[in-house]
Amino acid sequence: MPALRSLAALCLFAAAFALAASGSARAAEAPLTVFAAASLKESLDEAAAAYASATGQAVRVSYAASSALARQIGQGAPADVFVSADLDWMDLLQDKGLVDAGTRTGLLGNRLVLIAPAASGAKPLALRKGQDLRPLLGRRGRIALGMVDSVPAGKYAKAAFESLGMWSALEPRVAGVENVRAALMLVARGEAPLGVVYASDAKAEPRVRVLATFPAGSHPEIVYPAARVAASRHPQAAAFVDWLQQPVARAIFARHGFILR
């Protein structure tokens, strides 16, 4: 039957193409796969491009909440380097032997800020213990946070509000989103009157205004650990983690609002 033969030919062609494509990927220098916290988007993109032009090694970065990325690495995702937004998720992987402890470093720090849409006219305020932010939310507004059980930015936000005695009032008004950049987007669009993100995120988004910076003591220190994934066989993985600690990369991160450690 001519139709069956054409179908068979198409399948053979597709299979041959797939084989050839995968073969050629192995022949060239495979790109370095980095899993990184969502808040590193602009800065790490720039750093990765700088690394690629300096060494000729292509780097591709996958951004998501550190919680999701850690889970994926735990299930064997083919990452070479992991940069997390908090220590818990890196510790979890290290306890399971999934990251190379010898390459682990506390790369960056950050501050936590309360933001509002720039168009809302909300004014900067001083965060005091027991302060009620609900008037700023209006009747139905919600405060956009990363999901407070899992997303690092959400965990830090909850810890900060708890230490300031503001959590019990705000908890029913929370809109939990899957990563800190989603919270940033909701506030930038004016859908949420308030949100909590990192200082570096607020710097990247002109449509939000910083109302307050949370006192450094109100939440666990924000540390971005980086490490080589233990299962990675890429020869450049450890070198990339090392390069992120060098002056060129540090200058890029500083420019984007991160604290250097």
Instruction: Name the site residues for other proteins (rule: CB under 8 A).
Output: 65, 67-68, 71, 92, 140, 142, 144, 147, 149-151, 174-178, 182, 186, 189-191
Shortest Cβ 65–other proteins spacing (Å): 7
Based on CB atoms, which residue is closest to other proteins, 24 or 75?
75
Using the minimum distance from each CB to other proteins, give the nearer residue, 71 or 261: 71
CB of 150 to other proteins, least distance (A): 4
**Nearest residue (CB) to other proteins, 74 versus 124:** 74
Residue among 80, 43, 38, 55 at smallest CA distance from 178: 38
Q: Taking the complex as a whole, how short is the minimal distance between the CB of residue 142 and other proteins, in angstroms?
A: 5
Tokens of 231: 């299962």
CB of 175 to other proteins, least distance (A): 4
Nearer to other proteins, 58 or 122 (CB): 122
Report the nearest approach of other proteins to the CB of residue 1 (Å). Answer: 27
Helix (DSSP H) and strand (DSSP E) numbers for the chain: 11, 11
**Neighbouring-strand partners of residue 175:** 144
Nearer to other proteins, 31 or 176 (CB): 176
What would the two tokens of residue 8 be? 């068979």
Question: In this complex, which beta carbon is closest to other proteins, that of residue 147 or of residue 227?
Answer: 147
CB of 151 to other proteins, least distance (A): 8
Judge whether 151 and 179 are in contact, CB under 8 Å.
yes
Q: Which residues contact 144 (CB under 8 A, 6 or more apart)?
A: 175, 177, 182, 183, 186, 187, 191, 192, 194, 195, 196
What lies within 8 Å, CB to CB, of 57 at 6+ separation is: 29, 31, 32, 51, 236, 240
Q: Kindly tell me which of 151 and 208 has the beta carbon lying closer to other proteins.
A: 151
Q: In angstroms, what is the minimal distance from the CB of 60 to other proteins?
A: 19
Q: Which two tokens stand for residue 249?
A: 């990369």
| Secondary structure of 117-166 as H, E, C letters | EHHHCCCCCCCCCCCCCHHHHCCCCCEEEECCCCCHHHHHHHHHHHHCCC
Residue whose structure tokens are 């109100």: 218
